[in-house]
Chains A and B, each alone.
Chain A
Amino acid sequence: MCDQTFLAVVFGPCDKCSKEKPLRAVYIKSEQLSYCSLCVEMGLQTSGPNKFGHLAETAFWHAFLGRGSPGAAPRAGDAQQLALTCCRPAGAGGQAGLSLPPGGAVPGLRALGSAGPQQGRGGAGSRVAEAAGASAASPRARRAKELLPPSLSLSPVSLPASLAKMATEGLHENETLASLKTEAESLKGKLEEERAKLHDVELHQVAERVEALGQFVMKTRRTLKGHGNKVLCMDWCKDKRRIVSSSQDGKVIVWDSFTTNKEHAVTMPCTWVMACAYAPSGCAIACGGLDNKCSVYPLTFDKNENMAAKKKSVAMHTNYLSACSFTNSDMQILTASGDGTCALWDVESGQLLQSFHGHGADVLCLDLAPSETGNTFVSGGCDKKAMVWDMRSGQCIQSFETHDSDINSVRYYPSGDAFASGSDDATCRLYDLRADREVAIYSKESIIFGASSVDFSLSGRLLFAGYNDYTINVWDVLKGSRVSILFGHENRVSTLRVSPDGTAFCSGSWDHTLRIWA
């Protein structure tokens, strides 16, 4: 079991003999190839299983296609490519063994039910096929295409007969489904009415008399180079100087931002480490991603100690880990996952303390309320909802659904009474928790790329947002206008955090670097 993630061609020309046959994924000298079963046999006989690496695990994709017994051959027209994680499936369904990078690597694959209700799951084969076609234009499918190497093309999945049978049984399901939908729509309408009653004024009107901001001069003060691939996440240490960052190549690095020195580095057993966090004490870091886990590494300055040896696995989800954060102490961690749930864990025992169910799709981000305001946190997901949770009871207190696409980032306002969100719909929005509504939208017609990450300055007057068009926009929170636009990164900005004392902010990007701006 190694958690390597790779794309495997399931049916096509063998990389060794070039004949068109069902293929199995093989790992040779760090290269992922696809061999037909004859070449696999020959290879095993000549070079042995060690040379071929991971060979024993490659049969699992048969179970995933739902054909029952392993060894059932795929046919041309079946999924051309699958994103696979090399590990055994945990349950009978076989889905647990599958991990996809965010966005779902293959539109047709999501329709089979790994995540995302809007793709039409668990029902008629024809619904799935049309969802697969329709999804090609959606932002998620666009992003999925960007994640794949350019030479591979995607095609929809054709389903086995057993799912088509479920379609006829699904007919009466549809009646109660429709009545549930109408009830939900009418409740949403009522909620909107109640919220509208309090909407007597816009935020920028309240702030009319506030002095406008002058010109801002912010530039890159440090560039942290060292990651070998896209930087996906970063976090500041409470000492205002250290930073932990994680990237697609599996590396997690701790930097001293003043000197740009690397203090620690650890290689995770999985790629796409999408989440990382610094412990409040500064003595440990947490990280996770496609391994579906959140692991805690104590930081040690002893050169003889191997950081990876002291790793502790804390959280276990059934899909990728998208975000993690320590609570006020090193003892508890809050995680968000592609399986649609958030969870609170005890670090020492690895025990699940509370789980939070309510999102209808992958949860992509979370943020804890500033400590003075109590035990709540906000999460945002692919269901376009932002939800505020009570950590003790596990209940969702409020939810907001005004974005038009996935919410990539949420951040509490410094006073704790509001939060901002950044989304693939190219807008950032401010939600006031006591008025229970969205009170500001930060957008411009010229901004068409999604916002991946947002954070506030210390006073809450400025909102920094990193976008997929490689820029960082600085917004005046009160007036709703853009104050500044920062250039520098050479690929999309994936993560952005303001330092704990507000003197600078750090952005991480797919261009493999992190930049400190002040």
Chain B
Amino acid sequence: MAQDMTEKELLKMELDQLKKEVKNERQMVSKTGKEIKEYVESMAGEDPLLKGVPEDKNPFKEKGGCTIS
């Protein structure tokens, strides 16, 4: 638990973690950024908060009066 560890133990833990991370594989931002952009563009059509939803289909529309048929 972090609350019970001394500063030295915390630093050791951080060091071990950093040693592992330096070896991670990475990709260029131009490639991964492009993939994020493409994901957004592919899903944008179905995003109700982005393109809006017609009032009659919106389950959260203003509560109207009741009609008794």
Chain A residues in the interface with B (C-beta under 8 A): 95, 113-115, 117, 121-123, 173, 176-177, 180-181, 183-184, 187-188, 190-191, 194-195, 198-203, 206-207, 210, 213, 217-218, 221-222, 241, 257-258, 318-319, 338-341, 357-362, 383, 395-399, 413-415, 417-418, 432, 434-437, 439, 457-462, 477-478, 498, 501-505, 516, 518
Which residues from A are CB-within-8-Å of B1?
Answer: 318-319, 339-341, 357
Given contacts A187-B19, A200-B30, contact A357 B47 (CB under 8 A): no
Is there an interface contact between A503 and B58, defined as CB atoms closer than 8 Å? yes
Question: A-B pairs with CB below 8 Å: how many?
Answer: 205
The minimal Cβ–Cβ distance linking B42 to chain A, given in whole angstroms, is 8
User: Which B residues are CB-close (under 8 A) to A399?
Assistant: 17, 21
Bound CA span A222–B31, Å: 41
The reply to whether A439 and B11 contact each other, CB–CB distance below 8 Å, is no
A503/B60 in contact, CB under 8 A:
yes
- Contact (A462, B49) CB under 8 Å given A198-B26, A418-B36: yes
Given known contacts A413-B36, A503-B59, what 11 new A-B pairs fall within 8 Å (CB)?
A114-B3, A121-B6, A181-B11, A191-B18, A206-B36, A357-B1, A358-B17, A417-B39, A435-B26, A460-B36, A503-B60
For chain B, residues 3 to 62, give those with C-beta under 8 angstroms from any C-beta of chain A.
3-8, 10-15, 17-22, 24, 26-37, 39-41, 43-44, 46-50, 52-53, 58-62
> Which of A188, A397, A460, A518 has a CB less than 8 Å from the CB of B53?
A518
Inter-chain CA distance A206–B28, complex, in Å, is: 12
Residue positions of B touching A, CB distance < 8 A:
1-8, 10-15, 17-22, 24, 26-37, 39-41, 43-44, 46-50, 52-53, 58-62
Q: Which residues of B contact A396 (CB under 8 A)?
A: 17, 20
Partner of A210 from the list B11, B37, B48 (CB cut-off 8 Å) is B37
Give the chain B neighbours of A498 by CB distance below 8 A: 49
In contact, B59 and A360 (Cβ under 8 angstroms):
no
Please give, as numbers and ranges, the residues of chain A lying within 8 Å of B50 by CB-CB distance.
213, 457-459, 461-462
Contact, CB under 8 Å: B3 / A187: no
Return A171 CB to nearest CB of chain B, in Å: 13
